[in-house]
Structure 1
């Protein structure tokens, strides 16, 4: 017991020597005293080491203990325990893994990447299209009731899942292309893994189908099924599909979705399912379809202009890749201006009141002028400039959705 105590606590050697001198006279008593003291010091030392171990842990460093051995005059092992802090990875328990702040940062990081995955400008514009088409079913102010808002909310939530599914599937099959064309997208940049992207797409697909069945509105269900079919066929790389490779089929997907599926589904959902009124096809809905048809043909062509390099690399020959970006760009601008011209004509001949004719006429004139001014400043050699113009077009369409319900 004495030798073991001495090896672990060499500074206590004098104390043991003193115990040996007294042993001849008080042998039993002093052995008890020495052993008792040794056990107390050993217990104190153990508690001190445990306390210091937990005290020095830091969230960004891994710690370990190193025994430094050195010889003494008595040829005993002089052991000192020194705390070493290193930034290298360790498989040991790391307290920062359970730090609420780190968990919050991880959640925030994922939500930011998920926000970019969903293409927010498209979701925002589609939400406005939902509200705009729903307002076409309103015939008097009393129709704007809690029932109306519930119907709009049903359509918005259902097609929110559809929007996220569509963008997720498109990016999942375009990762290598997007690394060239759009490296900032979360799947192309690695912010979201491929597995996570698959989970997001599958979850949104399941939720959209379940939610559509729960609502029970056949206009929404048919619109949901058509959207899922068209955009799955547009994106997935299987025989007979991958419609984005064909310029005509790619334009058709955007054209049919925005010009027909969205306005018709939302209008008849409100007209027949929410208000329980007979199905009609009003002049305002026809105008909505005509305007958006022209506008989205231009949108479908314009979105391919900055993607020429990546598309050619992977064998996708869009119209800009075939006839050149400049010609396609000015075809798009002409289509946009034509859509605003149709809006001016329909607004001027509508049955709306005079002040509504003035507001819609001036509004469409301003939008057409802004479009022309912006188009003249676009540098077709710079993808950032083209992307900025494309985003500007989405903003113009968002404003137009405020004017559409006014024209009757």
Structure 2
């Protein structure tokens, strides 16, 4: 009897010891497997890093180009391209001089002036930073896309590229034009004693009239005539008329009050072009000039009157800029007609 009791007690003790020994192991295995299951589940939802990085790079490039577009304000530069192109054409005597002499020479003139244009718009944005934060918050410097330090470095680099490229080309009319534009536009924008000419209406008119007519008309013609074509200096009537008209046009600073004056000024340019064309000794030249001027004059009238005056709210900046761009585009056509005459 005692032997059976002892045997039963030993069996119970052995059984309890066995189950106590395996319970921790079973619990350990249970918690040991959970992280493995979670790790596999998380890894299956991770995106491919290469495709994600490519998308970021493309978006950054597009964003950078968009900021440069806002910074450079290309629509203002197109006026210089049109004006200097037609003034340069006045120096050409025959079609054989167009390819490739004329176009190569024109690129030599316009590239340094493009860098100077970027310097001018950049300097103006640096000088008007606090004002632009209110009136033009979309500009890169005003919005904070470009830092002030980076803006200074960028503007200085464009100035160096402008004079450096013109010096390498060696055109004296181009260098003179860049120097005049640099002095006048710097004095117009920078906030230093005796400068910041944009505060004065008279100085503003003077700076724009002299700077623009020099780069748009006189220097472009002289560069093509004396540096590219290597001819003696002459001043045709078309150049004189274009310079006078553009000087008056750039003297206009109160856009909202003188809209119809600007339109009338363009009409005067067309009328003068008709008179010059009528003085041609060739009948076909007279007819062609007259018909071309009539067609383009009507087109310019529609652009300015319909899309400029009637559809524009001068109290809003984007709409006001639209008037400026419409009238800038209209300057191209009188230049073409003056060349035809």
Give the structure-1-normalised TM-score. 0.67
After TM superposition, the structure 1 = structure 2 runs for residues 374-393 of structure 1, keeping only pairs within 5 Å, are 374-393=308-327
State the Cα distance separating 1:283 from its structure 2 match: 0.7
Query: Does structure 2 retain, via aligned residues, the 8 Å contact 1:131–1:152?
Result: yes
The structure with more strand, counted as a fraction of residues: 1
State the Cα distance separating 1:72 from its structure 2 match: 4.0
Distance 1:196 1:404, change over 3 A: farther
Q: 1:331 aligns with which of 258, 268, 293?
A: 258
Asked whether 1:406 is paired with 2:333, we answer: no
- Unaligned 5+ runs, structure 1: 1-70, 86-93, 303-328
Higher relative contact order, chain-length normalized (CA < 8 Å, sep 6+): 2
1:246 aligned residue: 200
Query: Does structure 1 retain, via aligned residues, the 8 Å contact 2:188–2:204?
Result: yes
1:216 aligned residue: 170
Query: Does structure 2 retain, via aligned residues, the 8 Å contact 1:166–1:232?
Result: yes
Q: 1:290 aligns with which of 230, 241, 244?
A: 244
State the Cα distance separating 1:365 from its structure 2 match: 4.5
Q: 2:289 aligns with which of 352, 356, 360?
A: 356
What's the CA shift string for 1:85-105, capped at 9, x where partnerless? 7xxxxxxxx967993432232
Structure 1 segments of 4+ aligned residues over 6 angstroms from their partners: 74-77
1:146 aligned residue: 100
Give the structure-2-normalised TM-score. 0.80
Equivalent-residue separation in structure 1 for 2:321 and 2:75 (angstroms)? 13
The structure with more helix, counted as a fraction of residues: 2
- Unaligned 5+ runs, structure 2: 1-22, 43-47
Equivalent-residue separation in structure 2 for 1:224 and 1:159 (angstroms)? 7
State the Cα distance separating 1:271 from its structure 2 match: 0.2
State the Cα distance separating 1:392 from its structure 2 match: 1.4
Distance 1:363 1:97, change over 3 A: closer
Asked whether 1:301 is paired with 2:228, we answer: no
Distance 1:181 1:266, change over 3 A: same
Three-state SS of the structure 1 residue aligned to 2:184 is helix
What's the CA shift string for 1:48-75, capped at 9, x where partnerless? xxxxxxxxxxxxxxxxxxxxxxx94699
Aligned residues between the structures: 302
Asked whether 1:113 is paired with 2:67, we answer: yes
Distance 1:380 1:214, change over 3 A: closer
Query: Does structure 1 retain, via aligned residues, the 8 Å contact 2:259–2:309?
Result: no
Equivalent-residue separation in structure 2 for 1:174 and 1:381 (angstroms)? 20
Equivalent-residue separation in structure 1 for 2:316 and 2:166 (angstroms)? 42
State the Cα distance separating 1:134 from its structure 2 match: 1.0
Query: Does structure 1 retain, via aligned residues, the 8 Å contact 2:303–2:326?
Result: no
Query: Does structure 1 retain, via aligned residues, the 8 Å contact 2:167–2:175?
Result: yes
Question: What is the RMSD computed on CA atoms of the aligned residues?
Answer: 2.7
2:18 aligned residue: none
Asked whether 1:158 is paired with 2:116, we answer: no
Equivalent-residue separation in structure 2 for 1:399 and 1:114 (angstroms)? 28
Equivalent-residue separation in structure 2 for 1:260 and 1:145 (angstroms)? 26
Equivalent-residue separation in structure 2 for 1:366 and 1:376 (angstroms)? 16
Distance 1:237 1:148, change over 3 A: same
